[in-house]
């Protein structure tokens, strides 16, 4: 086979590159010229082939008509220069030109057409491009920044558009390979694609799936090709999407990301400066790797995409290098992107395949739940987080990390990153009034911690100094207390620090009025001023964080905006001044989530691991000098299963920490059930019955039996003889009505059956967990009486909530109930005690059969 060859078509562009010796005052500036565009693409491909000479790129000081000016700066590394800004010269767009790259090794011929930037195109140059593309038999890679069709791009119509050239190309014999279209995400957004930026890869995939299904010119152009085509979307240095467009197949696509901790834009952001030529480095790496395949092998798009992403990241990481001697003759050169050594923050293993667009575009889809689709897999991941730490367990799972805060749940990541984007924009501007953010969540969910870590991380990245101030409004007695707080904030602004102010329980009452403090924040939030003794005082720049104490979500906070009381308290005006909000979920399982909160055990595992580290319960690896290098935490599966699976802690993270502190845990030794606190101490922090069932492995069986109990109760109380119907022929008799028969609505009957089933172990076990398949096989008279009393208590609670309380106390009902005329409650208890043994026996046999099947002799 003949050697492969590259044909490159793109911009003939020249750039002035400058570097100022000092930031302020007088000094020297180094100026030189560099070629870019198709010359840079040619250089990168030659570099990957082993030819690292780049003298042909250098223009020295002889550049006459530059297409852009690039201003450089150096930060931490004096030998690495980054781009502060690049200014294009619109009246001098570059011309198109073609380069024949020298042959190399064995491989396929490839043509790379780079149309990503405006160029000086005339009818003749467009005609040449049309002729070349339409007759090309090579692998064809086209980098664009607009629609394929000129007539659909807003430009002048032309019969020589790239779309028409590609359509003409497909009719060749033999049929050419499918064209590859590359476009940057920012350009796709400019064409109308509603794809999110810097929130989460799951949301990016969701936006792309919706874009594919929408009516838009870009997709219409792909359909017009009349043949399959590859679409590659670049998300800066951080990720790519590969979509094979084929009208005859169900759409699917692949998503790649270089670092699970990063979202779009983070790779450049962590380097403290940008770099030019990243898209060209990607094209060079992708095309070089793709063309290396011989016709006998399928081209490996995954390997080629990873190569392109790696070369772009390597260029970004290295920056410009200095060449030449002395300022005035200072020259710069591109780094060697052919290096193969380890690259910081780059991991090519991160890949997910989206098979069905319908699953993604509906909303709520996440990469985490896609990878760990089974509940057992998610629990295994949570256990690994506790034992080995999130750095190891979540190595390939998209996360968001802000200092000590780590979150893996899609919605939490998006909310925190949205807040980070908001704070970053604010800190980069010269605002004179505060940025106001609302924070909501259940008690103990970590409201103050989460947002505080986000702001600290942003401030540290930008080189800003933040000063934290915390005020609990529930402890303020009068308006002068708030004035003192405002004065304190104002003093901090004079010290060139950004005050980060936590107003805890901002929604508490004041002066006997609900939400009484809100009215005093309106002027500071809107105008950056506060009123003191009739004078308006400026506050200056600050970040106000309003931490709620009465609403678990922002939606719940806004649910009563139009109530008379809320309007009087200026609640709508306050809400309209918030520039962002975040709901903190914390470690408890949320019943309000549409997906049933599949990830609560993983959220909790991250919190639990951090609490173990905080309380010094992890053992350092022997001889290790790393800060957080610990041995695997030793804990039995049963204890860890119970801590991760119990639905809720009474006081959120505080309760979880309370259990850890009350337990007997020794670093390096196994944490077993014997080390847990007593049931009465556990009861202060959680439901000991539910916890005990998880601890002993009874939960699944007990839930099945509880379903049977609910059906037994409902069937019994719906019998005609159990119902009281009041009419003229049936006069009111309290003993008859509230002792022998009850009048319950359909809703109350269902609520009661579920409540009795849920609390069944509580009635019989005196607050301890029971194994119902064993303890439900028979009942004593004492246990039946306890069950009857428990049923009475649940009826009383339900009827009280519905406005029809029980009129007779339990002692009276129990006293007048004789064996021959048992009360309504005793009859229900008797029904359950008679039928439950059959259900318990059936469940015991089922469990035994499953165990036998899993472990055959």
| Mean pLDDT, residues 670-689 | 94
156 — pLDDT class (breaks 50, 70, 90)? very low
Q: Pairing between strand 535-538 and 529-532?
A: antiparallel
Token readout for 109 is: 């011929």
Q: What pLDDT sits at residue 634?
A: 96
Share of the chain above pLDDT 90, in %: 50
Name the DSSP letter for residue 374. Answer: S
What is d(CA 710, CA 722) in angstroms, rounded to the nearest whole number? 16
Q: How far apart are the first and last CA of the chain?
A: 61
Q: What pLDDT sits at residue 663?
A: 96
pLDDT, tens only, 426-444: 999 888 899 999 999 998 8
Residue of 559, 266, 600, 239 lying closest to 412 (CA atoms) = 600
The angle formed by the CA atoms of residues 837, 843 and 847, to the nearest 5 degrees, is: 145
Q: What pLDDT sits at residue 436?
A: 97
Whether pLDDT at 141 is above 60: yes
pLDDT, tens only, 435-478: 999 999 998 898 989 999 999 999 998 889 999 999 999 999 99
Q: What are phi and psi of 32, to 5 degrees?
A: -150, 175
Cα four-point dihedral sign 787, 792, 798, 800: negative
pLDDT, tens only, 625-655: 888 889 999 999 999 999 999 999 999 999 9
**Identity of the highest mean pLDDT range in 83-97, 298-312, 720-734:** 298-312
The 3-state DSSP class for residue 47 equals helix
The mean predicted confidence, pLDDT, of the chain is 86
What is d(CA 797, CA 802) in angstroms, rounded to the nearest whole number? 9
Cα four-point dihedral sign 259, 265, 270, 276: positive
**Contact residues for 227 (Cβ-Cβ < 8 A; gap 6+):** 170, 175, 178
- CB-CB neighbours of 784 under 10 Å: 18
Q: What pLDDT sits at residue 103?
A: 54
| Mean pLDDT, residues 532-554 | 90
Whether pLDDT at 44 is above 80: yes
Share of the chain above pLDDT 70, in %: 88
pTM of the model: 0.87
283 — pLDDT class (breaks 50, 70, 90)? very high
pLDDT, tens only, 493-503: 878 789 999 99
828 — pLDDT class (breaks 50, 70, 90)? very high
Q: What are phi and psi of 259, to 5 degrees?
A: -150, 125
Q: What pLDDT sits at residue 104?
A: 53
Q: What pLDDT sits at residue 150?
A: 63
Report whether 142 contacts 179 (CB < 8 A): yes
Residue located via tokens 């009475």: 792
Q: What pLDDT sits at residue 340?
A: 84
Token readout for 117 is: 């930037």
153 — pLDDT class (breaks 50, 70, 90)? very low
The angle formed by the CA atoms of residues 238, 232 and 246, to the nearest 5 degrees, is: 145
152 — pLDDT class (breaks 50, 70, 90)? very low
Name the more confident of 432 and 27: 432
Name the more confident of 63 and 42: 42
Residue located via tokens 């390597």: 314
**Distance (Å) of CA 342 to CA 287, 604, 793:** 22, 33, 66
Q: What is the DSSP string of 294-323?
A: -TTS---HHHHHHHHHHHHHHHHHH-BEEE
What is d(CA 442, CA 650) in angstroms, rounded to the nearest whole number? 10
| Mean pLDDT, residues 509-534 | 91
What is d(CA 413, CA 198) in angstroms, rounded to the nearest whole number? 10
Q: What pLDDT sits at residue 162?
A: 85
**Distance (Å) of CA 411 to CA 256, 347, 496, 856:** 20, 24, 34, 44
- The structural domains of the chain, ordered by start, are 3-333 (3.40.1190), 410-584 (3.40.50.300), 593-696 (no CATH), 699-854 (no CATH)
């Amino acid at each position: 086979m003949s050697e492969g060859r590259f044909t490159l078509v793109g911009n003939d562009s020249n750039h002035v590159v400058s570097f100022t010796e000092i930031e302020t005052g007088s000094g020297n500036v180094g100026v030189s010229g560099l070629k870019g565009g198709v010359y840079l693409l040619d250089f990168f491909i030659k570099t990957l082939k082993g030819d690292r000479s780049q003298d042909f790129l250098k223009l020295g000081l002889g550049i006459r008509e530059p297409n852009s000016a690039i201003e450089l700066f150096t930060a931490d590394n004096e030998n690495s220069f980054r781009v502060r800004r690049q200014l294009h010269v619109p009246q001098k767009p570059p011309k198109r030109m073609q380069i024949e790259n020298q042959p190399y090794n064995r491989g396929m011929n490839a043509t790379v057409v780079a149309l990503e930037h405006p160029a000086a195109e005339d009818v003749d140059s467009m005609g040449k491009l049309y002729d070349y593309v339409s007759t090309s038999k090579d692998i064809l890679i086209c980098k664009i920044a607009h629609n394929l069709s000129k007539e659909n791009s807003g430009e002048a119509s032309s019969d020589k558009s790239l779309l028409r050239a590609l359509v003409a190309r497909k009719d060749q014999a033999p049929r050419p390979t499918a064209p590859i279209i590359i476009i940057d995400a920012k350009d796709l957004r400019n064409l109308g694609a509603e794809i999110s930026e810097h929130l989460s890869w799951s949301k990016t995939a969701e936006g792309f799936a919706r874009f594919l299904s929408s009516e838009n010119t870009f997709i219409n152009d792909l359909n017009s090709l009349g043949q399959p085509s590859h679409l590659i979307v670049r998300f800066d240095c951080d990720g790519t999407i590969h979509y094979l467009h084929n009208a005859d197949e169900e759409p699917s696509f692949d998503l790649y990301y270089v670092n699970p901790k990063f979202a779009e834009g983070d790779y450049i952001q962590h380097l403290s400066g940008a770099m030019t030529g990243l898209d060209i480095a990607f094209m060079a790496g992708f095309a070089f790797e793709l063309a290396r395949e011989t016709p006998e092998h399928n081209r490996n798009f995954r390997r080629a995409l990873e190569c392109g992403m790696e070369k772009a990241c390597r260029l970004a990481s290295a920056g410009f290098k200095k060449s030449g001697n002395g300022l005035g003759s200072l020259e710069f050169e591109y780094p060697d992107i052919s290096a193969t050594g380890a690259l910081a923050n780059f991991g090519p293993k991160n890949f997910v395949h989206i098979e069905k667009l319908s699953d993604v575009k509906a909303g709520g889809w996440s990469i985490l739940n896609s990878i760990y689709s089974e509940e057992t897999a998610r629990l295994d991941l949570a256990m690994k987080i506790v034992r080995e730490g999130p750095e190891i367990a979540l190595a390939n799972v998209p996360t968001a990390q802000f200092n000590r805060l780590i979150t893996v749940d899609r919605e939490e990541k998006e909310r925190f990153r949205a807040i980070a984007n908001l704070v970053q924009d604010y800190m980069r501007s010269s605002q004179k009034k505060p940025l106001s953010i609302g924070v909501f969540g259940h008690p103990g969910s970590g409201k103050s911690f989460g947002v505080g870590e986000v702001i600290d991380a942003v401030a540290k990245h930008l080189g800003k100094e933040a000063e934290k101030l915390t005020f609990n409004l529930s402890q303020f007695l009068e308006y002068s207390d708030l004035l003192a707080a405002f004065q304190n904030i104002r003093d901090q602004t004079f010290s060139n620090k950004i005050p980060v102010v936590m107003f805890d329980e901002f929604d508490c009452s004041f002066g006997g009025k609900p939400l009484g403090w809100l009215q005093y924040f309106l002027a500071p939030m809107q105008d950056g001023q506060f009123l003191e003794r009739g004078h308006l005082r400026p506050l200056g720049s600050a970040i106000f964080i309003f931490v709620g104490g009465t609403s678990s979500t922002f939606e719940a906070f806004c649910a009563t905006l139009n109530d008379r009381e809320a309007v009087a308290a200026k609640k709508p005006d306050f809400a309209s001044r918030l520039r962002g909000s975040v709901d903190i979920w914390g470690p408890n399982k949320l019943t309000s989530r549409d997906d049933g909160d599949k990830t609560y055990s993983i959220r909790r595992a991250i919190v639990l691991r951090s609490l173990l580290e905080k309380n010094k319960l992890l053992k350092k690896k022997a001889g290790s000098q790393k800060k957080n290098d610990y041995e695997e935490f030793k804990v039995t599966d049963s204890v860890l299963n119970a801590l991760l699976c119990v639905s809720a802690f009474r006081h959120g993270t505080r309760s979880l920490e309370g259990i850890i502190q009350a337990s007997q845990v020794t670093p390096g030794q196994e944490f077993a059930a014997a080390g847990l606190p007593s049931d009465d101490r556990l009861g202060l922090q959680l439901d000991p019955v539910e916890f005990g069932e998880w601890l002993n492995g009874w939960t699944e069986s007990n839930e099945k039996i509880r379903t049977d109990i609910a059906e037994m109760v409902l069937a019994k109380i719906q019998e005609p003889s159990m119902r009281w119907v009041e009419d003229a022929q049936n006069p009111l008799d309290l003993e008859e009505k509230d002792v022998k028969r009850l009048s319950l609505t359909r809703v109350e009957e269902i609520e009661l059956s579920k409540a009795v089933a849920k609390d069944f172990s509580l009635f019989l076990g005196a607050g301890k967990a029971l194994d119902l398949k064993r303890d439900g096989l028979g009942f004593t008279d004492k246990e039946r009486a306890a069950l009857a009393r428990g049923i009475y208590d649940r009826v009383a609670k339900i009827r009280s909530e519905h406005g029809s309380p029980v009129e007779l106390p339990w002692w009276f009902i129990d006293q007048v109930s004789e064996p021959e005329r048992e009360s309504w409650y005793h009859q229900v208890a008797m029904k359950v005690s008679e039928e439950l043994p059959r259900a318990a026996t059936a469940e015991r046999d089922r469990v035994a059969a499953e165990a036998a099947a899993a472990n055959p002799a």
